[in-house]
Structure 1
Amino acid sequence: MTQTDTASVAMEADNMRLSGLLDFLQAAEQLKDTLRSGSTRKGRKESTAEHSWRLAFMILVFEKELGEVDIPKLLKLCLIHDLGEAISGDIPAPEQTPGDDRQDRERRDFQELCAPLPADTAQDLLSLWDEYAGAQTLEARLAKAFDKLETMLQHQLMPPRSVIFHDFNLSYGRSHTDGFPLTRQIRAFVDARTREIIAGLENEQSNQAC
C-alpha cells in the first residue's frame, strides 16, 4: 500500500454519514432471518441471505466464462436483488401471480430499508435495484438468469420433495435462463439432474404402490 493509499484509508468519516451506513447494515441483517421455501441439504430452511450469497459466489466461479461482462456491477445486482424481502419476506415462485404488486411492494420495502443511508448511497442502491427489476442491461439479465439457476441447484441438494415440486423446476425461469448460451448450457445440466430426481421419486411411488 502506498503512502497515498494509507492516507486515504485513514481519513476520518463524517459521523452522521457513518452512523447511517451502520444503521442500514444492521437493518439489512434481517435478510438472514427471511426464510425461503427451499432448504439446505440437511433440511434446514434456507434464508434469502444465504441464497444471495451463493448467487454472488456463482458469478465468481463462472467469471472466466462470462467474458466482457461488468463483474463488479453483476455482483452488486446479485447482492441487492432480494434485499427488500428483509421487511415483507419471500413469496415462493409457485405462489407468484401476474399483477400481484410483488415488485412494487419489494421496491417500497427496499426504500424503507435504505432510509438511514446518506442520500447518495441510497440513490446508488436504488438505481441498482431498479436496474435488476427492469432487466434491460446485460448484467441485470444475467443476474436474473443466475438467480433462477441458483434456486434450482439448491432444490437438487435439499431432501427430495414431491414430483410436482421438482417438475415445476423444469419450466421455472426458462425465459431468463434461455437468454444466453452459457446459462442455457448450465440449464441443460440442471434439468437433466432434475429429471433424474423426478424419475427416482416416481419409482419410489411405484414400489410403494405394489
Structure 2
Amino acid sequence: MTTPESLDGVLTFIEAAGALKDTLRSGCTAGGRVESVAEHSWRLGLLALVLGRDHPELDLMRVQSLCLVHDLGEALHGDIPAIDQADDPDRTARERRDFRTLVAPLPEATRADLTALHDEYEEVASPEARFVKALDKLETLIHHTEGANGPDFDYAFNLDYGRTATDRVPRVAALRAMVDEKTRTRLRHRGDR
C-alpha cells in the first residue's frame, strides 16, 4: 500500500519516467517527426489491447503492465536503434541498471513488482512476455514502414528484424507478413529491390 510517506518516491519515479516523452527513437512518424519511446510504448499497449482479445489464455492486465515497463530503463540513457543493438553488448545490462535506478524511489513492494515485470519481459519468461516481445518487434516494424524516414533508412533490415519473436505468435506472424509486404513496397519504391 502506498503510504503518505512513500508518495514522494512515487512522484520522483513518475517524473523520472516522464523522460521517456523526450527520449527519441531512430525512426520518424508518418508526419516526419522523430518518435519518442513513450509513443512507442503507448502504441505497443494499444496493439496488445486489440490483439489480446484473440488470446484468452493470457492475463491481459499483466500484458499491459509488461508493455508499460518494457522500455522504462531507456529513460536514463536513451534508446539504441534496433539496427545498432548487436554492436552494443552491454545494452541489456545497462538498461537493467537504469531501470533499477529509476524504480529505486518507489516503495519496496512496488519496486519489487516492477522489477519482476521487467525481468520477466527481458527473459521472455512467460506467455505474456512472449506476446509482448512479439508485439514490441511488430510495432517497431510498423513504425519503420509507415514513417517518413530519410533516404538512407535501411528498410531491408526490417525483413529479418525480430522474426524469432514475431513467429512465435501466429496472429502476430500473420500481421508481420502484411508489414513485410509494405516493407518490400517501400524498398521497391526506393529502387533497392
Mark yes or no: TM-score above 0.5. Answer: yes
Say if 1:162 and 1:171 are closer, same or farther in 2 by CA, change over 3 A.
Answer: farther
In the TM superposition, what whole-angstrom CA distance separates every residue of 1:66-85 from its partner, at most 9, and x where no partner exists? 23211110110011000000
Indicate if the aligned counterparts of 2:141 and 2:158 stay in contact, CA closer than 8 A: yes
Aligned to 2:14: 25
Q: Match of 1:65, SS? A: coil
Give 1 or 2 for the bigger CA radius of gyration.
1
Q: Which runs of 5+ in 1 are unaligned?
A: 1-11
Q: Which runs of 5+ in 2 are unaligned?
A: none
Q: Match of 1:67, SS? A: coil
Q: Match of 1:43, SS? A: coil
Q: Tell me the matched-pair count.
A: 193
CA distance in 1, matches of 2:2, 2:66: 26
CA distance in 2, matches of 1:80, 1:113: 11
Q: 1:140 aligns with which of 125, 129, 132?
A: 129
Indicate if the aligned counterparts of 1:160 and 1:197 stay in contact, CA closer than 8 A: no
Q: Match of 2:172, SS? A: helix
| 2:172 is equivalent to residue 183 of structure 1 | yes
Q: CA deviation at 1:160?
A: 4.4
CA distance in 1, matches of 2:35, 2:29: 6
| 2:64 is equivalent to residue 79 of structure 1 | no
In the TM superposition, what whole-angstrom CA distance separates every residue of 1:156-190 from its partner, at most 9, and x where no partner exists? 22114447611100000001001121111111111
TM-score where L is the length of structure 2: 0.94
| 2:162 is equivalent to residue 200 of structure 1 | no
Aligned to 1:68: 57
Q: Match of 1:46, SS? A: strand
Say if 1:194 and 1:182 are closer, same or farther in 2 by CA, change over 3 A.
Answer: same
Indicate if the aligned counterparts of 2:2 and 2:107 stay in contact, CA closer than 8 A: no
Q: Percent identity?
A: 47
Aligned to 2:44: 55
CA distance in 1, matches of 2:164, 2:121: 15
Indicate if the aligned counterparts of 2:141 and 2:179 stay in contact, CA closer than 8 A: yes
Bigger RCO (CA 8 Å, 6+ sep): 2
| 2:81 is equivalent to residue 97 of structure 1 | no
Q: 1:126 aligns with which of 99, 115, 119?
A: 115
Q: CA deviation at 1:197?
A: 1.0
Aligned to 1:3: none
TM-score where L is the length of structure 1: 0.87
